[in-house]
Amino acid sequence: MLTEKEILYTLDTYRNGYDPAFVELGHPYVFPIDSRINIFRTSQGKWALAIETLGYNPRGDSIALDITYYGNCLTNLENRESYTSNSYCVFPIEQDSFNNTIEGENLKPDARFWTVRNIKIELSHSKEDYQNAGIELKEYEPNEISAEEVGRLIVTKHRDLFRATEEELYKSIPNDLEKILVIDEWHHKDFYQNDFDPIESIPFPIPTPEQIKEAFESQIDKLNELNISKEALLESFDFTEHNEKRIDHNNEEWENNRPSSYETWQLIAKVIVTGDTSLYKPTLEPTSHWRNWPDAGTM
């Protein structure tokens, strides 16, 4: 029989071999625009979540809709070079219409529309339109409007065009699962476990202090010229402090931010197990709106 504990364990520990994180709303490379949670189940104990995150990634020159899946019956997952991913990307905006209207990361002065799922959507250059929608323009330069700000305004008027279609949602979810609940805003904490161990990752044996001292003595003139001391050379191969910080970080993340540690996912687990959507009665303030992630996308 499916239990809440089993669901929460899956959310806490799911790893796709590449990015050891739960779905991130504060991703450093992506300016958030919109998000929602879709919940699926069957009475036989199968379950899945499809979490949508819409954002602008300047490195990818696009506004993308990421759909991240969790569950016990996922299928047709994306195969990458060395791992299987539990997420895939949809691009609601026709790429040419996006490229033709964005220069650098900002809206061109003569930009008029984006084609979103084959529908032409008018773009606004009016500061008042953005202000009325609660969007404070950054304006690093006068009259500058960034791509994510344009996206945030359009989503307030045409949200359905930027949401995943049923076909897209069911891409990695068996068709016999029923979608029982959609959550447009929720209390969210990013959860990231740093699995990178520099000692295990170095493709050669770590030299011993004695070997480093011998190397220093044999190259003493060159190292003195570069102003590198024996102590500095030894420290460069000492990863103890780095690993201690990594372990402390992971422990703090696990204690405070893992999905099972707070109300949102605990309630969702109850809904999945029982099928009773009335059990989702959150008391914590929602934090999923893009305004709550001011540092996202800024790296």
Each residue's pLDDT tens digit, 166-187: 999 999 999 999 999 999 999 9
Note the helical H segments in the chain: 4-13, 95-99, 127-132, 147-162, 166-169, 198-201, 209-218, 220-225, 230-236, 240-256, 263-274
Structural domain of 219: 198-246
pLDDT at 122 over 80: yes
Q: How far apart are CA 214 and CA 220, in angstroms?
A: 10
Q: Are 161 and 225 in a shared domain?
A: no
Q: What is the pLDDT of residue 79?
A: 84
CA gap 258, 251 in Å, rounded: 10
The pLDDT value given to residue 213: 66
Same domain, 62 and 155: yes
Type of residue found at 84: T
101 and 219 belong to one structural domain = no
Q: Are residues 209 and 283 in the same domain?
A: no
pLDDT of residue 209: 65
* 33/109 same-domain check: yes
If asked whether residues 175 and 55 sit together in one domain, one would say: yes
Predicted local confidence at residue 212, as pLDDT: 58
| 227 and 270, same domain (yes or no) | no
pLDDT confidence of residue 289:
98
Query: Could you tell me which of 295, 265, 272 has the C-alpha nearest to residue 188?
Result: 265
Q: What percent of the chain has pLDDT over 90?
A: 71
- Residue 256: other Cβ atoms inside 10 A: 11
Q: Residue 239 — pLDDT band, cuts 50, 70, 90?
A: low
**Average pLDDT in the 242-252 region?**
79
Which of residues 246, 266, 283 is at a domain's end? 246
Element (H, E) at 180: strand 178-183
Q: Same domain for 29 and 76?
A: yes
18 located within any domain: yes
For residue 271, being part of any structural domain is answered with yes
| 221, 141: one domain | no
Question: What is the arithmetic mean of pLDDT over 145-152?
Answer: 98
Look at residue 105 and tell me if it is in a domain. yes
Tens-digit pLDDT profile for residues 41-95: 999 999 999 999 999 999 988 999 999 999 999 999 988 777 788 999 999 999 9
Select the more confidently predicted residue: 115 or 204: 115
Buried b (16+ CB within 10 A) or exposed e, 68-81: bbbbebbeebeeee
Residue 100 and residue 227 in one domain: no
In this structure, is residue 298 part of a structural domain?
no
> How much is the pLDDT for 78?
86
How many domains would you assign to the chain?
2
171: in domain: yes
Averaged pLDDT of the chain:
89
- CB contact at 8 A, 115 and 101: no
pLDDT digits (tens, 9 = 90+) for 199-228: 555 555 655 667 656 765 677 766 677 677
Task: Check whether residue 98 and residue 146 sit in a common domain.
Answer: yes
Residue 235: predicted pLDDT: 61
CA 3 to CA 10: how far, in whole Å?
11
Q: How far is CA 252 from CA 7, 68, 121, 261, in A?
A: 22, 24, 44, 12
> With 70 as the cut, is the pLDDT of residue 247 above it?
yes
pLDDT at residue 32, rounded to an integer: 98
Contact 74, 174 (CB under 8 A): no
Check whether residue 93 and residue 218 sit in a common domain.
no
Tell me the C-alpha distance between 124 and 67, whole Å: 28
In a domain, 282, yes or no: yes
At 230 the pLDDT is 60
* Inside any domain, residue 239: yes
pTM confidence score: 0.84
Q: Give the pLDDT confidence score for residue 206 in this predicted structure.
A: 59
Tell whether 279 is covered by a domain. Answer: yes
